[in-house]
């Protein structure tokens, strides 16, 4: 059905490759990627690996190092590099906020993100992203030290740190048990995918090609492939490598398009807006409510958005109570509820109330209790979930009426 369209799309990719080759053969006019990092933390380790990984696949990378500068003159070059590059990767490490240069780079980056939709793919390297959103902890202490000498810039730096904390990126500790090599591979793959799309859409012939119905249909079809029919929300350390991985494989194996909340497509999107769009385009949401689910603001935001989609358009929510009791979720009590309470001091009462409402509502939904299904046999539970999802997707009337 899509034979001709696929051929035409392949032609698009060939054109993009030729466009890229011609661009590089003329010499780099702008940077593809700008790396912002604290030299003492990551210069000879993660940042060096990432730089070489990006360069190895042909990207032109600006690697800044605030400790190697002499004087202030280079600042204009930095600003120009940030503004002209296609993607900025701020590597937020434990001492990042100690550097005024890093904070200035981040402020310029977030200004470009807000005003010109600059792509920002943050790496949270061995830090807790929650500390950025206050800011709190080490980051708050470092910002306080700058107030005496940089009083005018300090509020902008605080805003920039808070803003980048709400952009979905990579958290190093949760990826492949903290292995830097795997993280570098993931970043390079995501950057490659993003730049390829940019180059295609920058082709002079792109508007003309998109005016063709068949090419447009094929392009939309393959763009739609990154959207899911089913959205999975889960707490990574609890289930990512075990139950969630098996459920994902089982659903995909049954021909179901699945989008997880750690999907590379979501990197660089605002935590709220990007996830909301992803959930909104799905037909079914499956929250995997495990013992530490409520400890994660990201998980709670996902759940809140699922409930919002259910209220607005009747989207189906199929909860899995993984080694927790539905009553504990509904009442936010016992071991499930304890992690939730730590958020009271960190976020507004309005947001906290929305999270509470979402948990209470989902806790009352009919779902699966992992410890009661087939005497705790997770393989049988997976079969039941896949069967129910297929039934709903292949019978739209059941999906609409459920």
What is the per-residue DSSP string for 184-208? HHHHHHHHHHHHHHHHHHHSTTHHH
pLDDT of residue 176: 74
As given in the structure block, the two tokens for residue 394 are: 């292949």
Q: Which CATH architecture has domain 225-401?
A: 3-Layer(aba) Sandwich (3.40)
As given in the structure block, the two tokens for residue 78 are: 């930095």
CB atoms within 10 A of CB 240: 17
Residue 324 contacts residue 375 (beta carbons within 8 Å): no
Q: Which residues fall within 8 angstroms of residue 331, CB to CB, at 6 or more apart?
A: 337, 360, 363
**With respect to CATH, is domain 22-187 assigned 3.40.50.10140?**
yes
pLDDT in tens, 217-268: 555 544 555 568 999 999 988 998 899 999 999 999 999 999 987 788 889 9
Q: Which residues fall within 8 angstroms of residue 296, CB to CB, at 6 or more apart?
A: 235
Q: Distance between CA atoms of 146 and 102, rounded to whole angstroms?
A: 13
Residue 234's nearest CA partner among 167, 297, 290 is 290
- 3-state helix, strand, coil split of the chain in percent (to 5) is 65, 10, 25
Q: Distance between CA atoms of 66 and 91, rounded to whole angstroms?
A: 13
pLDDT of residue 10: 55
Q: Distance between CA atoms of 6 and 323, rounded to whole angstroms?
A: 45
Residue 160 contacts residue 107 (beta carbons within 8 Å): yes
Q: How far apart are the first and last CA of the chain?
A: 32
pLDDT of residue 72: 45
The residues with which 92 forms a beta bridge, in sequence order, are 124
Residue 370 contacts residue 322 (beta carbons within 8 Å): yes
pLDDT in tens, 21-66: 455 444 445 799 999 999 999 999 999 999 999 999 999 999 976 5
Q: Which residue has the tokens 């927790």?
A: 324
Residue 124 contacts residue 172 (beta carbons within 8 Å): yes
* Topology agreement, domain 22-187 and domain 225-401: yes
**Where exactly are the structural domains of the chain?**
22-187, 225-401
pLDDT of residue 6: 52
pLDDT of residue 27: 47
- To the nearest 10°, the Cα dihedral for 402, 389, 303, 248? 180
Q: Distance between CA atoms of 329 and 29, rounded to whole angstroms?
A: 55
Residues lower than pLDDT 70 in the chain: 1-29, 65-74, 200-227, 398-402
pLDDT of residue 256: 95
pLDDT of residue 2: 47
């Amino acid at each position: 059905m899509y034979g001709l369209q696929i051929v035409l799309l392949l032609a698009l990719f060939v054109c993009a490759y030729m466009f890229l080759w011609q661009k590089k053969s003329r010499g780099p006019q702008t940077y593809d990627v700008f790396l912002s990092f604290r030299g003492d933390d990551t210069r000879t380790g993660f940042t060096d690996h990432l730089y070489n990984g990006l360069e190895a696949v042909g990207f032109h990378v600006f690697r800044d190092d605030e400790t190697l500068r002499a004087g202030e003159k280079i600042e204009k070059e930095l600003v120009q590099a940030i503004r002209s590059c296609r993607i900025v990767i701020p590597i937020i490490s434990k001492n990042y906020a100690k550097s005024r240069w890093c904070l200035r780079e981040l402020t310029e980056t977030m200004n470009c993100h807000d005003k010109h939709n600059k792509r920002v793919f943050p790496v949270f390297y061995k830090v807790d992203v929650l500390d950025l959103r206050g800011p709190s902890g080490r980051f708050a202490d470092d910002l306080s030290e700058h107030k005496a000498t940089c009083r005018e810039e300090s509020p902008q730096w605080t805003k920039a740190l808070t803003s980048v904390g709400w952009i979905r990126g990579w958290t190093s500790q949760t990826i492949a048990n903290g292995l830097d090599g795997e993280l570098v591979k993931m970043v390079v793959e995501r950057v490659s995918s993003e730049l390829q799309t940019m180059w295609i859409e920058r082709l002079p012939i792109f508007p003309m090609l998109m005016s063709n119905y068949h090419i447009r249909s094929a392009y939309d079809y393959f763009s739609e492939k990154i959207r899911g029919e089913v959205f999975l929300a889960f707490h990574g350390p609890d289930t990512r490598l075990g139950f969630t991985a098996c459920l994902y494989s089982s659903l995909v194996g049954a021909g179901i398009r699945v989008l997880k909340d750690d999907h590379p497509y979501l990197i660089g999107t605002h935590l709220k807006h990007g996830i909301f769009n992803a959930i909104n385009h799905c037909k079914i949401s499956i929250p995997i409510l495990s013992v530490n689910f409520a400890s994660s603001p990201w998980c709670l935001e996902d759940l809140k958005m699922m409930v919002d989609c259910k209220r607005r358009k009747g989207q189906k929510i199929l909860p899995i109570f993984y080694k927790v009791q539905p009553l504990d979720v509904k009442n936010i009590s016992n071991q499930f509820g304890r992690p939730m309470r730590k958020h009271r001091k960190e976020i507004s009462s309005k947001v906290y109330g929305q999270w509470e409402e979402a948990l209470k509502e989902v806790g009352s939904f009919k779902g699966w209790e992992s410890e009661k299904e087939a005497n705790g046999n997770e393989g049988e539970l997976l079969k039941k979930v896949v069967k129910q999802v297929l039934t709903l997707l292949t019978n739209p009337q059941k999906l609409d009426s459920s």
